[in-house]
């Protein structure tokens, strides 16, 4: 077993993003490029009873055509863009708390995933990618015989 050095101050980095976003100043006439910052959708990864991996990502306000799902060399990549609504005039914007812009998330998955059977579905602001296991990778019970 190896010894891992723990730095308690690294735990505070998780608080940076929400507080910076909360106290960020937006003034009328702010450059659009400054207001569009990258963001990361929340993701759940779990295994189903039939041993398939499921990656479920929250993508509210993201159109299906603005999402890309790639699976290559054991890496699942979800990328896309959430665009600002066209009716918002930046000269009349009083407050902006939602993040806009591009995102990219990558996940390394086990080699037991059947790449040809991966499916993706976008419904009600949630992207669900299902990565089924190869038939030979599924666990099977071995009977124990009397000697």
Q: What is the pLDDT of residue 94?
A: 78
Q: Where are the beta strands (DSSP E) in 8-144?
A: 43-47, 53-58, 67-72, 75-82, 101-108, 119-123, 126-131
Return the pLDDT at 138.
63
* CA–CA separation, 46 and 57 (whole Å): 12
Give me the pLDDT at residue 111, please: 84
pLDDT band at 55 (very low <50, low <70, confident <90, very high): very high
Over range 81-103, report the average pLDDT.
80
Q: For the CA atoms of 5, 8, 11, 13, what is the dihedral angle to 10 degrees?
A: -100
Looking at residue 14, its pLDDT comes to: 64
What whole-number percentage of the chain has pLDDT above 90? Answer: 41
Fold of 8-135: Immunoglobulin-like (2.60.40)
CB contact at 8 A, 77 and 69: yes
pTM above 0.85, yes or no: no
Judge whether 105 and 27 are in contact, CB under 8 Å: no
Average pLDDT, stretch 63-80? 94
Q: What is the DSSP letter of 19?
A: H
For residue 17, what pLDDT is reported? 60
- Tokens 């910052």 appear where? 37
């Amino acid at each position: 077993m190896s010894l891992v050095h723990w730095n308690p101050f690294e735990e505070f980095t998780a608080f940076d993003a929400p507080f910076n976003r909360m106290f960020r100043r937006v003034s009328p006439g702010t450059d659009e490029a400054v207001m569009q910052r990258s963001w990361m959708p929340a993701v759940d990864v779990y295994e189903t009873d039939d041993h398939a991996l499921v990656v479920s990502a929250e993508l509210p306000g993201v159109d299906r055509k603005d999402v890309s799902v790639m699976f290559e060399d054991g890496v699942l990549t979800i990328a896309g863009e959430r665009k600002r609504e066209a009716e918002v005039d930046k000269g009349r914007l009083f407050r902006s708390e939602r993040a806009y812009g591009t995102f990219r998330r990558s996940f390394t998955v086990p080699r037991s995933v059947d790449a040809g059977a991966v499916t993706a579905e976008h419904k009600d602001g949630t992207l669900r990618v299902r990565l089924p296991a190869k038939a030979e990778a599924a666990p099977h019970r071995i009977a124990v015989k009397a000697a």
